[in-house]
Amino acid sequence: MGCSPVIPKLNATAEEQQLIEIALAHNCLVQTKIGSTNTSYTVPVSCLSKDDAEVIPAAMSIDIRIGDLATQTVDMVVVCSTSQNLMNDICKKAGKAVADEVNAATQTGKIMSEGYETVGGKLFCQKLFFLPWTTKKLDDITLRRSIQKFFQTAIHYAVNTGRTSLAFPALGCGELNYDPSTIAEIILDETQIYANYNLQILIVLLPEKTENYKAFCFKLAELRQKKQILPEVNRSNDKLKLLGPKEEVKEAQIEFYRLKSVKAEEARIASYARVAVWLFEIENNTFEKYSLKLNALFETALEHNNEVVNFRNDNNEDCKIKLKEKIETCGNRQRRVIRRDFQIPRNWTAQSDNVLRCVLDSKDEEYTKFAGVVYGVGVYFSTDASYSHGYTSVSPTTHRRCMFLAKVLVGKAASGNSKMRTPPAGYDSTTDNNHIFVTYHDDQAYAAYLITYKSPGN
C-alpha cells in the first residue's frame, strides 16, 4: 500500500517512548536510536471499484494473488511439470533433495497424468504435486477440457489425501500466452465447482503481467454478482445442502419451500381428477370440463358433505353449485352439472421390466383416470407379469395381447391405502409391500417397448 513517511515516524516515536517507560518501571537502562529506510513496493492495479474490492479474497474460498508460486504457505503447491521454467524455479528453491527426486521421477516416467507428490523441502508448503499439462497451443474446446482435467485431478487428489489449501499456477498465462480473459473464465468456472469441499484455492499470477490480474478480477466480480448457490445432495440421508452467501442461501431456501408447496398443491389438485370429473352443460347434452382447480374444489366440498359451493369461474363470474341438485347458478343463468366417476377402463394393457404399468388407450377419454383403487389414487404397476396379463384382452383383429416394457422410478415406497391421492411426505410412491407399486407423477414412468404376444389357449 502507499503511505506517507510521516506515519511510520510517528509510530516509531510512540514505540520508543513505550520502551523507555517499560525500562524505567523495571529499573533498567535503555538506549534507542531511530532510523528510516526508503523501500518501494509495486502496487497492483485494481480493476474493481472501492466498494467491490472485498471480492478478493473471493467468496467460495477462491483467492487471486500476484507473486511467486514457490513462496505460498499452503498444504500443497500444484506445479505444472510441462513448464520447464516453473519446474526449474520450484526445484531450485525447494532444495537439492527435492530436485534430485523430481529429476529421477521425470526420467522414469513417474510424473504422469495422475500426478506425482513430493515433500515441500525448503519451501513453506507441506507438499508439492507435479502434474503435466500441455506444451502447445490448443483450440478453445480442447483448452477448456485440458484445464478442467488438470484442476480436477489436483483437487480430487487433495481431497483424498486430506489437503485443505492449494496453490495453482495460472495455466497458459506464461509461456503459451493465451488470452487471459479466456483462461480466467475457465479456471474460475472450474474451481468454484469445488466450493462444497471447503478448500482454500489460490491462483498465483506472475507479477509482471497486470493484464492477467485484471482479467481474473473481472471474472471474480462477475461470479460475485451472479450470487450462485451450489446444491450438495447427501443421498444417504436424503438431505439437500445449499452453499453460497448467507443471504442468497436464505432466499434460495424460501424459494425452494415455496416451489415445493406449489408442486404439492398441484399434485393434490390433479389427484382429484383421477377419481371424478365435473362438467357443465354448454348446450343441449353437450358438456365441458371444469378446470382442475375447480374440479378439486367441488370434490373437496362433496367429501365434507357441503350442500352448496361458491366459486369464481374461468370467466371471472361469481357462481355457485347446489351439489345435490347438480345445478350451477351464475347471475340469472342456470345450467346443468354432472359428476362423472371413473371406473376401471375397458381396454387397459400392461407393461413389464421390474415394474409393470397398466396403460390405457390414449384415444379413450378416460385415459389414466380410474377409481376403485386399493393402494392409492395413482397409476398402477406390478413386478408380476402374470398379474398384469390378467388385465389384458385379446385383440379382435390381431388375436394377440399387448404388454409394455416400462422403466419406473419407484423411489421410496410407503404402504398405500385407497384414500391416498399423493404419497406421504418423504415418499415417492405407494405399494402393497409385495408386487404392486403406485406412482403419482407422469414423469415417474417411461414405456420403453411394446410387446405383442399370444398366450396359450388363444
pLDDT digits (tens, 9 = 90+) for 99-152: 999 999 888 888 876 789 999 999 999 999 999 998 888 888 889 989 999 998
Helix axes 140-160, 180-191, angle to 10 degrees: 40
More confident residue, 375 or 448: 375
Least confident of 2-16, 156-170, 286-300, 301-315: 2-16
Sequence-distant (≥ 6) Cβ neighbours of residue 155 within 8 angstroms: 166, 191, 194, 197, 199, 201
Least confident of 12-16, 79-83, 176-180, 268-272: 12-16
Average pLDDT estimate for 258-268: 85
Q: Which long-range contacts (CB under 8 A, 24 or more apart) does 421-425 make?
A: 421/267, 421/268, 421/271, 421/272, 421/274, 421/275, 421/376, 421/377, 421/378, 422/264, 422/267, 422/268, 422/271, 423/376
| Amino acid residing at 60 | M
Residue 371 has pLDDT above 50, yes or no: no
Instruction: Provide the pLDDT for residue 316.
Output: 87
Q: How far apart are alpha carbons 446 and 407 in whole angstroms?
A: 5
Q: How far apart are alpha carbons 71 and 169 in whole angstroms?
A: 12
Instruction: Provide the pLDDT for residue 267.
Output: 83
Instruction: Provide the pLDDT for residue 39.
Output: 56
Instruction: Provide the pLDDT for residue 50.
Output: 35
- Domain spans in the chain, listed from the N-terminal domain onward: 1-41, 52-226, 239-271, 276-341, 348-453
The helix or strand, by DSSP H or E, that contains position 169, with its residue range, turns out to be strand 165-169
The CATH number of 276-341 is which of 3.40.50.1100, 3.30.70.100, 3.30.465.10, 3.30.720.50? 3.30.720.50
Residue 270 has pLDDT above 50, yes or no: yes
- Mean pLDDT taken over the chain: 79
Residue 227 has pLDDT above 80, yes or no: no
More confident residue, 382 or 238: 382
Cβ–Cβ under 8 Å, residues 317 and 331: yes
Reported as a single tens digit per residue, the pLDDT across 45-104 is 444 333 333 333 333 568 888 889 999 999 999 999 988 889 999 999 999 999 999 999
CATH number of 348-453: 3.90.228.10
Instruction: Provide the pLDDT for residue 13.
Output: 64
Least confident of 1-5, 12-16, 190-194, 345-349: 1-5
Average pLDDT estimate for 269-273: 80
Instruction: Provide the pLDDT for residue 362.
Output: 34
Instruction: Provide the pLDDT for residue 75.
Output: 94
Q: What pTM, to 2 d.p., does this model score? A: 0.43
Instruction: Provide the pLDDT for residue 225.
Output: 67
52-226 belongs to CATH 3.40.718.10: no
Residue 302 has pLDDT above 80, yes or no: yes
